Amino acid sequence: MGFKVIILTLLLVFLNSSLLPAGELTGEEILDKLNNNINITASGQATIKLVTENSKGQQREYKLKIYRQEETGQEKQLLEYLEPADVEGTKFLSVHTPEQGEEQMWLFLPALGRERRIAGHMTRDNFMGTDFTFEEIGGGKDYNDDYRAKRLVDQELAGYLTYQLQLIPVDQDLDYGELRMWVWQQEMQPLAIDFYNRAGELWKQLIFSDFEQGDDGELFPQTIIMSNQEEGSRTIIEIIENSSEEIDRLYFSLQYLRR
């Protein structure tokens, strides 16, 4: 299973698509072909180990269950903390309707005994002490809507030939000033994303690795690392087990959040 990701990048000199040889894919075409492969998991469920590490190298480990369902016109995802005891039962539900551009999010904290709606201005806050934002962890991020892609010079990364993309934000209100993405040409899978702030400085970096074939035959990364260059912290996600079996719709309801 994989992550949409979302979310993540680096920047350099870029080639105008008109300068590319005839028949070559443009940046926009490459981004379209990713087909939502920037996510934690496709439809189904996965058990993951999530590790947060601060600038001093101190780590904390969590175990979570992820449920995801993609159906016509809507994407739903639920994260549920299983361990340790002090966060057990914490749940995060996100429902994304691409055609409407809407994403609804709720966070349930057992200590409060109720869910909290994550308002639009809060979606860019860090999720539960990780280096991912609510928006990125929710899986509804659509780079095609928010960025315009330009293809740069192809590069080799970690032994793979990649397309290198520069993503420029359409809306100047977005947090990131620019992204750079490396896409594995053979499998059309993102391998790395660099995020730059408005000052042009590298802010965060997302790395996908250890690809394995899922039940549906698609390749998904088993290790995902988001590092914050400014804070010196990072968040490591490792897929322990996954399955593409159908998920009961009850998991994606406020009723289940409160259980």
Delineate the domains of the chain, giving CATH numbers in brackets: 17-257 (2.50.20.10)
pLDDT tens digits along 104-128 = 999 999 988 899 999 888 888 999 9
φ and ψ of 228, to 5 deg: -105, 110
Q: Which residues contact 259 (CB under 8 A, 6 or more apart)?
A: none
Confidence at residue 141, expressed as pLDDT on a 0 to 100 scale = 65
pLDDT beyond 70 at 38: no
pLDDT tens digits along 135-164 = 889 875 678 878 999 999 999 999 999 999
3-class SS string, 132-162: CEHHHHHCCCCHHHHEEEEECCCEEECCEEE
Lowest mean pLDDT among 51-65, 132-146, 167-181: 132-146
Share of the chain above pLDDT 70, in %: 85
**Residue 85 burial (C-beta neighbours within 10 Å; 0-12, 13-18, 19+):** exposed
Task: Decide if 168 contacts 147 (C-beta within 8 A).
Answer: yes
pLDDT beyond 80 at 9: no
Confidence at residue 220, expressed as pLDDT on a 0 to 100 scale = 84
pLDDT beyond 70 at 208: yes
